[in-house]
């Protein structure tokens, strides 16, 4: 990478809608390349950021970009095609450019990881991520502009309005997450309750290293922020007390994950016929496809959602093992 050729983001760059940016020079944070993209600071599969900037999250890619003396043509527009925590914290870093040693910059990186992957060590990081999402939801946001963008009668993409409403307040969230307790306390209580199930032994996890599989036996699906810091496997099988069996590929396997090599996703479509033949209960086994962000394999009931299976965990793993081991 030649920093002299790398697009430089203007100090007064503004966040614009993807539809407005398309065709004009712009920087994408945490999304796909568009017509006119001159720099993609994104971990999306097709974003193709400069290899020297590679990081697990888009915020991490921006963090590395901030340490490079970019000397290419100046760009005044920043965009993203969706809203989420990593996108918010990546855009905030790019527009505010905090010094490397600051706590706010470190918290932005940690909160982006907690939001995207559910992994964390500092407990304030997931709370920042949960608060950011609450700010972006119509039922919980304190911002009228967000409520208007998400109103039933609203038209167009709400993401730019949400970004522009939240970005001026993001620094305050990162520096003082306790002040935003009202936004994160309810979802954080769910995380804590699920962590309690694991600590009490009412839920347990067994990892099968050769299959990159974590088998989670619990009375209900566990929040990723409670489960993911405890496991290394990227395939998670929830075995519910009532017979539910749902296998999910984690989000890390969809993005350009940089910190360690991950086993690639395997198309589970070839095993569906065997699952349907072996299944003693009503329903149809479905796989949502390897290209989905977090695809699931499950027995679909009458309404199309996951239904209890009669196969049992051991039998399902036995049928899946030849594919998962490839």
Q: Are residues 21 and 129 part of one domain?
A: yes
Query: Which ranges of 22-84 would DSSP assign to H, the alpha helix?
Result: 58-66
List of residues 6+ apart from 219 with CB closer than 8 A: 197, 202, 203, 240, 241
Whole-Å CA distances, 153 to 133, 139, 148, 163: 21, 15, 9, 20
Q: Are residues 76 and 207 part of one domain?
A: no
Q: How many domains does the chain have?
A: 2
Render pLDDT for 106-115 as a digit per residue (tens, 0 to 9). Answer: 999 999 999 9
Q: Are residues 75 and 123 part of one domain?
A: yes
- pLDDT exceeds 80 at position 215: yes
Distance CA 85, CA 195 (A): 22
Question: Percentage of residues in the chain with pLDDT exceeding 90?
Answer: 96
Q: Are residues 46 and 84 part of one domain?
A: yes
List of residues 6+ apart from 271 with CB closer than 8 A: 319, 320, 323
Beta bridge partners of 177: none
Q: Are residues 222 and 183 part of one domain?
A: no
Beta bridge partners of 40: 28
Model-level pTM? 0.96
Whole-Å CA distances, 20 to 46, 62, 194: 21, 22, 42
Q: Are residues 215 and 88 part of one domain?
A: no
Whether 73 is covered by a domain: the verdict is yes
Whether 320 is covered by a domain: the verdict is yes
Whole-Å CA distances, 88 to 42, 80, 145, 262: 12, 9, 16, 26
Whether 76 is covered by a domain: the verdict is yes
306 pLDDT tier (thresholds 50, 70, 90): very high
Whether 289 is covered by a domain: the verdict is yes
Residue 269 DSSP one-character state: G
- pLDDT exceeds 80 at position 1: no
The kind and range of the H/E element at 206 are strand 204-208
Q: Are residues 261 and 130 part of one domain?
A: no
**The last residue of a domain, from among 129, 153, 187:** 187
**The last residue of a domain, from among 138, 160, 187:** 187
Whether 278 is covered by a domain: the verdict is yes
- pLDDT exceeds 90 at position 22: no
Side by side, the strands of the sheet bearing 74-79 are: 8-15, 74-79, 26-29, 37-41
Domain region containing 46: 3-187
């Amino acid at each position: 990478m030649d920093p002299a050729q790398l697009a430089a983001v203007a100090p007064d760059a503004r966040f614009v809608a993807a539809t407005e940016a398309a065709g004009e020079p712009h920087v994408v944070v945490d999304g796909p390349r568009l017509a006119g993209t001159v720099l993609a600071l994104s971990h999306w599969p097709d974003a193709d950021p400069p290899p020297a900037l590679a990081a697990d999250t888009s915020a991490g890619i921006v963090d590395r970009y901030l340490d490079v003396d970019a000397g290419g043509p100046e760009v005044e527009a920043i965009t993203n095609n969706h809203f989420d925590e990593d996108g918010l914290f990546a855009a905030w870093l790019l527009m505010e450019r905090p010094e490397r040693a600051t706590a706010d910059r470190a918290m932005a990186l940690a909160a982006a990881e907690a939001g995207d992957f559910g992994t964390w060590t500092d407990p304030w990081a997931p709370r920042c991520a949960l608060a950011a999402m609450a700010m972006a939801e119509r039922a919980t946001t304190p911002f009228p502009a967000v409520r208007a963008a998400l109103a039933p009668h609203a038209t167009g993409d709400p993401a730019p309005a949400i970004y522009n409403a939240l970005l001026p307040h993001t620094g305050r969230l990162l520096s003082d997450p306790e002040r935003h307790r009202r936004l994160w306390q309810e979802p954080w209580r769910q995380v804590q309750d699920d962590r309690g199930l694991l600590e009490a032994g009412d839920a347990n996890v067994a990892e099968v290293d050769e299959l990159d599989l974590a088998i989670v036996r619990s009375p209900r699906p566990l929040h990723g922020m409670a489960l993911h810091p405890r496991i290394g496997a990227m395939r998670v099988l929830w075995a519910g007390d009532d017979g539910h069996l749902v296998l999910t590929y984690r989000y890390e396997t969809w993005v350009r994950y940089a910190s360690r090599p991950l086993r690639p996703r395997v198309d589970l479509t070839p095993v569906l016929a065997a699952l349907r033949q072996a299944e003693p209960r009503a329903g149809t086994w479905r796989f949502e496809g390897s290209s989905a962000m977090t695809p699931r394999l499950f027995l679909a009931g009458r309404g199309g959602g996951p239904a209890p299976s009669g196969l049992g965990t051991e039998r399902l793993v036995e049928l899946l093992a030849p594919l998962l081991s490839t």
